[in-house]
Amino acid sequence: MLRSASRVEALSRTSAPPDLTQIFEPIRDDLEAVEQEFARHIQSRVELIPEIGRYIQTSGGKRVRPALLLMCARLGGYRGERATLYASVVEFIHTATLVHDDMIDDSVVRRGRASVHSRWGNDITVLLGDYLYIKSMGMALTVDSLELVRLLCDVTLRMIEGELYQLTKTGNVDLTVDEHLEIIRRKTAYLFGGCAQIGGVLGDLPEEQQIALRDYGFNLGIAFQLVDDLLDYTADEAVLGKPVGGDVREGKMTLPAIYLADQAGGRARELLTTIVCDREFSDEAWHELRALLATHRVLDQAFEKASEFAATAKRQLDVLPPSTELDALMVLPDYVLSRDR
């Protein structure tokens, strides 16, 4: 196993992550059906809605959340249309959070292209996000399963709570690791866990296995976001598709910055305080911050924390019988740890 230092280094330079296309090969046709379902449900007599929908859909994206749902449904032998529908629902929910989050953070670039709010304005973006949320629930209600609708509502509420909670902590250099992890749980992990659990329900798996899949997705989601935290400091901006250093520029203390403030203090805390309060930094300040992160090896520590959650995710799969789908789920945490965007 590679040491964390070399793995963190690889995040920004040479690491070739496991091929996501190969991991998702068993559900390739289903994922294509999800794309078609998304395009179908984004249609509206208001021409602007499908126009923005097509813009979002063609801007890239890994589709990890819908793929996770589809793979878990396949794990239980389910191959029906409800999996495609629910996978589309979670993609609508995820897309709604992205367009709202970009507007809240004033992020002008998403996946190498102008974000929705920077292209169409805040008023339209707010309404589009609302449309996507309501549309997702309307789609879910076309299937007779109030249990899953309640699950989706609960997940969506937790995501909104997470965004509100994060806003109350913006600019706070004294943010703790536990507080940051709580933000991640709400904003990211619960949706990952919900996707895996819905797949297990559709596959009619025993309750123990449904819970195991939920916990797998939950821990995978935390690892996914912790790697995002790292990429904001280590990635190639052209590959990442958005400016690096965006988190601290937006006043957000993510795990590397929290570790640095706690362990280095002094100049590191002074520098972070200035950046998160001013919401900007010079090239010199960015280079100094990067140097401090390297000196105190906090990127390695943050990667180790992500690795712990990825390993916990894998352990949840021990209760499931061997299958091609299980093999794919076992590899997915490795992809999350080694991705570069």
Whether the per-residue pLDDT at 66 is higher than 90: the answer is yes
CA dihedral 5, 6, 9, 15 (to 10 degrees): -150
Residue ranges and CATH numbers for the domains of the chain are 21-156+168-335 (1.10.600.10)
Whether the per-residue pLDDT at 269 is higher than 50: the answer is yes
Q: State the amino acid at position 62 in one-letter form.
A: K
Task: Report the pLDDT averaged over residues 92-101.
Answer: 90
pLDDT at 242: 65
54 vs 156: CA distance, rounded Å:
23
182 vs 167: CA distance, rounded Å:
13
**Close Cβ partners of 341 (under 8 Å, ≥ 6 residues apart):** 231, 235, 239, 240, 241
Whether the per-residue pLDDT at 244 is higher than 70: the answer is yes
- For 126-144, write each residue's pLDDT tens digit: 999 999 999 999 999 988 7
- For 5-59, write each residue's pLDDT tens digit: 444 444 443 345 678 888 999 999 999 999 999 889 888 889 999 888 888 888 7
